[in-house]
Amino acid sequence: MRIPVGEVIDFLEGIAPLHLQESYDNSGLLIGSRDQEVTGVVISLDCTEEILEEAMAKGCNLIISHHPAIFYGVKSFTQANATERIIRNAIKNDLTIYAIHTNLDNTLKHGVNERIAQKIGMVIDGILRPMAENPDQGAGIIGHFTSPMPEHQFLNHIKKEMGATLIRHTSLINRQIQKVAISGGSGAFLLKDAKKAGADALITADFKYHDFFDVDGDLLACDIGHYESEQYTINLLQELISGKFATFAAHCTEINTNPVHYFT
C-alpha cells in the first residue's frame, strides 16, 4: 500500500513542528500535494536542479531538503534563475518538494545540533538560547566532553569528525576545551549566548570578519563551513524516515551540493 505525502509530513512535523521555524524561514510543503502517493524519497541538504534529476532517475517523487528550494519571493516562472527552473521542472514532472529547515535547527531531540554532538562525541547539557514559550526547544546547544582536550587536539578532532576541509578560527585561548556550544549553519548570532554559558569553544559556520573580533578572546570560535556543519542532517532524516516507513525507499542524495570550493 502506497503512503501519501501527508503521512510523511505529519511524521516529520511531529519531530520538528513548523511553529518552531524562524519568522524569516519557509519550511514545509513547497510544491506538490499532501494526497500524492510516495514512490520514493531523496533527502538532501539543498534542493538543486541536479537533485531533481537524481530523484527522477531513482524513481522518487518526493524530495526532502533541509534548505528550502523557495526562500525569497518569486514573481515569475521564466526559467531566468535556478529557483524558477526548479519550480517549473518540479511541477512539470509531478515532483513534491518539502523543506525542514530552522524548525529542525530548533529541535533538540533528532535535531541538527544533536547530530553534530553525536558525531563529535559530546554530551548535551541543554539549549543555548531556549524559546520563551518552550525552554526545551530553541537555537543552538551547550554541552561538554567527558575529558578536556588541548586546543590543537580539539581542532583536529572537529575537522576529522565533521569532514571539514579547513577550520577558520579565532586566536587560541591557551586553555583546555571541554564545554562547547554548537550551532549548525549560521550561528554567529549566538556568540553572546555561548559566552554567557561559559563555553570554551563555539562550533558553527558563516562567521564574518568582524564577528571574529567580537569573540574578544573569551572562547575559541570555530567556523567549519555551512555545508560541513549540516551535512549529516541528510543521514539523520534518512534514518528517521526509513525507520518509520517500509513501503518506499528513502535515499541519501549522492550529490554534494556544497557551492563553496577550497583552493589549498
Q: Which three cell numbers stand for residue 142?
A: 551547550
pLDDT at 74: 81
Neighbours of 224 (CB within 10 A): 25
- Taking the C-alpha atoms of residue 127 and residue 122, their distance in angstroms, rounded to an integer, is 14
Written as tens digits, the pLDDT of the chain (264 aa) is 789 999 999 999 999 999 999 999 999 999 999 999 999 999 999 999 999 999 999 999 999 999 999 988 787 888 888 999 999 999 999 999 999 999 999 999 999 999 999 999 999 999 999 999 888 899 999 999 999 999 999 999 999 999 999 999 999 999 999 999 999 999 999 999 999 999 999 999 999 999 999 999 999 999 999 999 999 999 999 999 999 999 999 999 999 999 999 998
Pair 73, 43: CB distance under 8 Å: no
194-203 pLDDT, tens digit per residue, is: 999 999 999 9
pLDDT at 182: 98
pLDDT at 75: 77
Neighbours of 69 (CB within 10 A): 24
Phi first, then psi, for residue 17 (nearest 5°) are -60, 145
Q: Which three cell numbers stand for residue 114?
A: 544533536
What is the reported pTM?
A: 0.95
pLDDT at 73: 79
The Cα-based distances of 211 to 125, 202, 223, 226 in angstroms read: 25, 12, 11, 15
Neighbours of 240 (CB within 10 A): 17
pLDDT at 78: 84
Sheet holding 96-99, edge to edge: 28-31, 96-99, 62-65, 41-44, 250-252
100-141 pLDDT, tens digit per residue, is: 999 999 999 999 999 999 999 999 999 999 999 888 899 999
Domains of the chain (ranges; CATH) run 5-104+231-252 (3.40.1390.30), 108-223 (3.40.1390.30)
